[in-house]
Structure 1
Amino acid sequence: MKTHETKTKTSIPAGRCKGTLLVNLRSFVTTTRDAGAWERLVTSLPKSDRDVLSQPLLASSWYPIGVWNRALRTHARTASDQTAELKRFARYVADRDLNTVLKFALSIAMPDTIVARTGMFWSRYFDSGKVFPRMVKPREWVLTITGPTGDDEGPSAMNCGEGVCGWVEQALLLCGASTPKVTHQRCRFRGATECLSEVVW
C-alpha cells in the first residue's frame, strides 16, 4: 500500500528593521522637502503601515520590515533620479548614525576595519539577511548579501543596492578614505542567488 507524504511549505518569518531607519527617513524627508512631506508620504501608504508610522517612532525599537520597504519606495518615487536619491539618503543615515553612536570608533578606525564589520552594521538595522565581507586585496573588498526577497520578509532591492553602496561609501569617507567606490554588481532580486558588491578606495 502506497503512502503519500504531504510536504508543507515552510513560511518565512516577517523581518524587522531598527527604528533609527524610520526616524532618519522622516528627518530626511522633512528637511529635504517640506514640513508636510512626511505626512503626505504616510497618508499614501496602506492602513497597516499608516498605523505604525502614526505612532511615536523610537530609534531603538524594531518595526515591520514591510513598513520600511514601502515607505522608502514611496519616497524614492517622488524623486526625478531615484538612484541618486536613495544613495543620498543612505549617506545621510551613515553620517547621522556613525557620528552619534560610533563617533569615537570612527576616530580610530581604518577603512579596512569598517568594511570588515559591515555584517555587524547590517544587523544593527535589519534582523533578516546577512552581509559577508571578504578582502580581495589591499583596499579592495567584496560584500556578499543573502536573505529573503519578500517585501515583508527582508530588506528590499533598494537596500542591498543603493542603500549599501551609499552607506559604505559615506562610512569610508568618515574614516579617512579619499575616493571610495561601492558598485552593486550582482543582485538576488534580479536572478542571482545572492547580492554582490565591490568596494574599492
Structure 2
Amino acid sequence: MLAKGSNMHHMRTWVVRLHGDEGWERVVAALGPEDAATVRSVVSVAWYPFSTQHALLRTIDRVLGTGDGELARVIGRYEADQDLTIVHRIFLRMANPAFVLEKAGDYWSRFYEAGTWIVTRGEGGTSARGELRDIEPVDELFCLYLEAYIFRMFELVGAKNVRGTHSRCRCRGAEACVFEGRWD
C-alpha cells in the first residue's frame, strides 16, 4: 500500500516547528537506512510505502516523545489542521459534522491508494460511525493518529464536545477499524 508524501511532509514540519532541525535529524538518524533515505527526499505529491509513514510516526513518538503513542495523536490533530483549509471549514460548517466522515472515502483516496470507508450517521445527527477496511500494513500508532485526525476534523467544522472511540481495530484482530464519534 502507498501513502501520499504530504503526510510525512506534515510530520517533518511539525517536528521542525517544535524541535528544530536538530530534532528532525535525530528522528531521521533513528530510522532504518531505507526509510531514512525516503523521508529525507519526500515530496508531498509523490507516493511512498505506507510502512515508511508508519516507521516515521513510530520513530517520532519514540525519539521525541515517551513511546506511548501520544505524539501520534498530537500529530494527527496537527495534520487535520493543515489539511482542512479555512475555505473547507467555512463550507463544511454548513453541513452536519457527520458529512465529513461520510466524505472520508473521497478524501481518503487523496492520501492513500487503498482502503475502503463505510460510514453511517447516528439518529439525531449528533453521531457517526466509520469503518475502515482493506489497509495493509496495520499499525496501532497509525490508528491513534487517525482517530485524532478524524475527531479534530469534526471540531474544525463546528462540532462541540466531541467524544470518540476507536472501538474495533485491525491490530487487535477485527475485520475493520471502527471509529465512533458523538458531539453536541
The TM-score, its normalising length taken from structure 1, stands at 0.81
Evaluate the alpha carbon distance shift between residue 127 and residue 81 of structure 1 in structure 2; reply closer, same or farther with a 3 A threshold: same
Structure with more of its chain in helix, by fraction: 2
Does residue 175 (structure 1) correspond to residue 171 (structure 2)? The answer is no
Q: Secondary structure at the match of 2:119?
A: strand
Equivalent position to 1:54, from 37, 40, 48: 40
Alpha-carbon distance, 1:97 to partner: 1.0
Alpha-carbon distance, 1:109 to partner: 3.9
Could you tell me which residue of structure 2 aligns to residue 157 of structure 1? 140
Does residue 132 (structure 1) correspond to residue 121 (structure 2)? The answer is no
Residue pair 1:166, 1:182 contacting (<8 A) in 2 also: no
Evaluate the alpha carbon distance shift between residue 193 and residue 107 of structure 1 in structure 2; reply closer, same or farther with a 3 A threshold: closer
Unaligned runs of 5+ in 1: 1-14
Q: Secondary structure at the match of 1:141?
A: strand
Q: Find the aligned partners of 2:43 and 2:93 in 1 and give their Cα distance.
A: 27
Q: Find the aligned partners of 1:58 and 1:70 in 2 and give their Cα distance.
A: 17
The TM-score, its normalising length taken from structure 2, stands at 0.88
Residue pair 2:5, 2:45 contacting (<8 A) in 1 also: yes
- Percent identity (aligned): 25
Q: Find the aligned partners of 1:40 and 1:81 in 2 and give their Cα distance.
A: 15
Unaligned runs of 5+ in 2: none
Equivalent position to 1:37, from 13, 18, 23: 23
Q: Find the aligned partners of 2:88 and 2:141 in 1 and give their Cα distance.
A: 24
Could you tell me which residue of structure 2 aligns to residue 4 of structure 1? none
Q: Find the aligned partners of 1:34 and 1:105 in 2 and give their Cα distance.
A: 34
Could you tell me which residue of structure 1 aligns to residue 175 of structure 2? 193
Residue pair 1:94, 1:170 contacting (<8 A) in 2 also: yes
Residue pair 2:15, 2:23 contacting (<8 A) in 1 also: yes
Q: Which moved more, 1:22-31 or 1:191-200?
A: 191-200
Equivalent position to 1:66, from 29, 51, 58: 51
Please tell me the residue identity of whatever aligns with 1:140. Answer: S
Could you tell me which residue of structure 2 aligns to residue 145 of structure 1? 132
Aligned residues: 181
Q: Find the aligned partners of 2:40 and 2:94 in 1 and give their Cα distance.
A: 39
Please tell me the residue identity of whatever aligns with 1:141. Answer: A
Rg (Cα) greater in structure: 1
Evaluate the alpha carbon distance shift between residue 84 and residue 51 of structure 1 in structure 2; reply closer, same or farther with a 3 A threshold: closer
Evaluate the alpha carbon distance shift between residue 23 and residue 194 of structure 1 in structure 2; reply closer, same or farther with a 3 A threshold: same
Equivalent position to 1:95, from 81, 91, 108: 81
